[in-house]
């Protein structure tokens, strides 16, 4: 799926190695050391007039730091990149990952613990289904500033193709955040909730479909059909219709759910990035024998199963195709109101389920 989300990086994001005094001397608290230096809001300026970024770092778990990077390029392109810094205490290494966004498809980098003056991440960045060797280097410019440099490999050398100088705008707030830049409704998950813990919000007062009333309004505001399935209490059927959606990466989409029969729902997703549309099809099938739903996304990009949707959330356990293997991923639908829902994708990172993609949808 990420191969669909291709837009070349017009003004590369600043990235790099960062280090301050005693940055890596405390082997017992590497995450705390990084958090001490990065948590908070930073205003960044690029090498070209008009290029800027606002980087907001938050602590979202014992071994996880999140970055919300709002970028504006000199060519007028704006977007938000959500990055996850995860520390593996067993291997004493860091992993930096960023999901699909309007600048690139995917970024996966790794680094050792913070060095004397720099913090260097090396890996790949995928653009238009082509993985390119990439480095992000943080360099200390003092206690209240750093440079983040994005580098690409050219031949046998690394060449900087974008660098931002960042200065602290505000210190970190003394609290954890619950997720990874997921767009939130007014009833957001409390910040103290642990990463990967499944939220248990008060279920929205959404009536389930009733076979006895052919004109009844059903879950999520969908009008009841003339022929009601014996499984009409399942809220999955309430998805039928058109929805306007927005991803946390800033892209817009239109979801159209159609009901083929009592056991099959079809989703046609038109995802718009910049001035291009991408069509993605998903098939949901209900197996009466074991009372479970299955989801297969076009080309097997995502495959998962879930029990019937009888509560406030609908959770699929499945996997995505990534680099020739299957990676475990949870897909969760959550009711926000009678006319809105959120869908998010979580993957395992350092033993916790972490959100890496999400979208909020409202009925048209």
pLDDT at residue 235 is higher than 70: yes
**β-strand 106-112 against 264-273: which pairing, if any?**
unpaired
Overall domain count for the chain: 2
Tell me how crowded residue 297 is: count the other CB atoms within 10 A of its CB: 20
* pLDDT tens-place string over residues 199-227: 444 444 434 433 333 333 334 444 333 33
Tokens matching residue 293: 């739903």
* pLDDT tens-place string over residues 151-165: 988 877 888 888 999
pLDDT at residue 125 is higher than 50: yes
Q: What single-letter DSSP state applies at residue 30?
A: H
Spatial distance between the Cα atoms of 127 and 2, rounded to a whole number of angstroms: 9
Q: Are residues 154 and 241 located together in one domain of the fold?
A: no
17 part of a folded domain:
yes
198 part of a folded domain:
no
Spatial distance between the Cα atoms of 94 and 332, rounded to a whole number of angstroms: 27
Q: Are residues 270 and 162 located together in one domain of the fold?
A: no
49 part of a folded domain:
yes
Q: Are residues 147 and 10 located together in one domain of the fold?
A: yes
Can you give the pTM of this predicted structure?
0.47
* pLDDT tens-place string over residues 312-343: 999 999 988 776 678 899 999 999 999 999 99
Domain residues for the domain of 126 are: 2-171
Binned at pLDDT 50, 70 and 90, residue 25 comes out as very low
């Amino acid at each position: 799926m990420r191969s669909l989300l291709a837009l070349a990086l017009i003004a590369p994001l600043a990235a790099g190695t960062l280090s301050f005094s005693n940055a890596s001397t405390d082997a017992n608290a590497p995450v705390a050391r990084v958090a001490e230096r990065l948590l908070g809001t930073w205003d960044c300026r690029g090498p070209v007039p008009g290029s800027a970024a606002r980087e907001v770092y938050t602590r979202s778990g014992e071994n996880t730091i999140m970055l919300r990077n709002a970028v504006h390029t000199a060519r007028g392109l704006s977007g938000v990149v959500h990055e996850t810094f995860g520390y593996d205490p067993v291997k004493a290494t860091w992993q930096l990952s960023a999901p699909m966004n309007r600048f690139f498809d995917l970024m996966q980098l790794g680094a050792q613990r913070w060095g004397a003056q720099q913090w260097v991440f090396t890996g790949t960045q995928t653009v238009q289904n082509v993985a390119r060797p990439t480095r992000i280097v943080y360099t200390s410019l003092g206690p209240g500033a750093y440079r983040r440099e994005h580098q690409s490999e050219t031949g046998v050398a690394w060449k900087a193709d974008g660098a931002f100088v960042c200065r602290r705008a505000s210190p970190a707030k003394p609290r954890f955040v619950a997720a990874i830049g997921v767009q939130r409704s007014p009833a957001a998950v409390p910040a103290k909730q642990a990463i990967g813990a499944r939220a248990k919000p008060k279920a929205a007062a959404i009536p389930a479909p009733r076979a006895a009333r052919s004109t009844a309004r059903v879950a999520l505001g969908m009008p009841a059909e003339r022929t009601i399935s014996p499984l009409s209490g399942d809220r999955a059927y309430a998805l039928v219709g058109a929805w306007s959606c927005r991803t946390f990466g800033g892209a817009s989409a239109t979801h159209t759910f159609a009901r083929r029969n009592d056991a099959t729902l079809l989703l046609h997703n038109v995802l718009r990035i910049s001035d291009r549309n991408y069509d993605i099809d998903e098939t949901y099938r209900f197996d009466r024998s074991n009372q479970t739903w299955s989801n297969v996304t076009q080309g097997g990009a995502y495959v998962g199963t879930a029990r019937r949707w009888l509560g406030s959330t609908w959770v699929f356990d499945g996997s995505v195709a990534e680099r020739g293997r299957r990676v475990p991923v949870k897909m969760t639908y959550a009711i926000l109101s009678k006319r809105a829902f959120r869908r998010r994708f979580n993957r395992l990172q350092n033993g916790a389920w972490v959100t890496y993609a999400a979208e909020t949808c409202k009925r048209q």
